[in-house]
């Protein structure tokens, strides 16, 4: 199967399962789940036809493991990244000392003033590894990586969650937790 077709279907799935279920005539339940049969029918109706095998392959091979089926295989949801209100029963977890947030240089000024805020998403997304942070930042422009003192945040009682696909989430990162001396401007 052509990679580009899977990529474009993947993008459409992201849209539907995180941001705009109505684009495939769907409703997500309170926990973000969609019925697979309804998803397949809705995608076809929206002009993005795919088979159950296509869907299984996309879920399996997705570079960031963005989606998962439930145990019955009848439901599917995105692991994180939603803008619609969903309750993902995320696992609270103790973060590593340092987490990283990749952003674009043009946002720095605003982040200095307001901290890292969730913008359109439900939480701020952080990663435990630098490589991911560089990639996330590059999506928005010239990337900059902000190291975050996650241990200090946790000591203050701020909560962290770990999504099923290994993304660290929190509500916000006030600027004082960004390790200013360690900001990376070059890879």
Question: From CA 124, how far away is CA 137, in angstroms rounded?
Answer: 13
Q: Does 136 sit near ligand HQG (CB under 6 A)?
A: yes
**CA-CA distances (angstroms) from residue 131 to 80, 120, 134, 187?**
19, 23, 5, 9
Q: Does 19 sit near ligand HQG (CB under 6 A)?
A: no
Mark the segment that binds ligand HQG (CB under 6 A) among 27-35, 44-52, 110-118, 151-159. 110-118
In the numeric block, which tokens belong to residue 14? Answer: 């992201």
Q: Does 117 sit near ligand HQG (CB under 6 A)?
A: yes
Please say whether the beta carbons of 150 and 95 come within 8 A.
Answer: yes
- In angstroms, what is the minimal distance from the CB of 27 to ligand HQG? 21
Please say whether the beta carbons of 83 and 120 come within 8 A.
Answer: yes
Provide the 3-class DSSP secondary structure of residue 127.
Answer: strand
Mark the segment that binds ligand HQG (CB under 6 A) among 31-39, 85-93, 117-125, 150-158. 117-125
Q: Does 150 sit near ligand HQG (CB under 6 A)?
A: no
Size of the site for ligand HQG (CB under 6 A): 19
If you compute the radius of gyration of the chain from its CA atoms, what whole number of angstroms results?
18
Residues near ligand HQG (CB under 6 A): 64, 66, 81, 103-104, 107, 110-111, 114, 116-117, 119-121, 125, 136, 139-140, 167
């Amino acid at each position: 199967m052509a990679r580009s077709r899977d990529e474009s279907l993947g993008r459409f799935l992201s849209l539907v399962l995180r941001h705009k279920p109505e684009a495939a005539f769907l409703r997500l339940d309170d926990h973000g789940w969609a019925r697979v049969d309804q998803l397949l029918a809705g995608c076809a109706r929206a002009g993005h036809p795919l088979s159950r095998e296509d869907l299984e392959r996309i879920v399996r091979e997705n570079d960031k493991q963005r989606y998962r089926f439930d145990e019955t295989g009848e439901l599917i949801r995105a692991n994180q990244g939603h803008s619609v209100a969903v309750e993902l029963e995320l696992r609270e977890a103790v973060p590593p000392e340092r987490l990283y947030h990749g952003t674009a240089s043009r946002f720095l000024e605003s982040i200095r003033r307001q901290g890292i805020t969730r913008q359109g998403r439900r939480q701020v997304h952080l990663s435990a590894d630098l490589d991911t942070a560089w990639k996330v930042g590059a999506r928005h422009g010239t990337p900059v990586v902000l190291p975050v003192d996650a241990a200090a945040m946790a000591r203050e009682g701020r909560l962290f969650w770990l999504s099923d696909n290994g993304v660290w989430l929190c509500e916000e990162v006030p600027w004082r937790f960004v390790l200013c001396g360690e900001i990376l401007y070059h890879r």
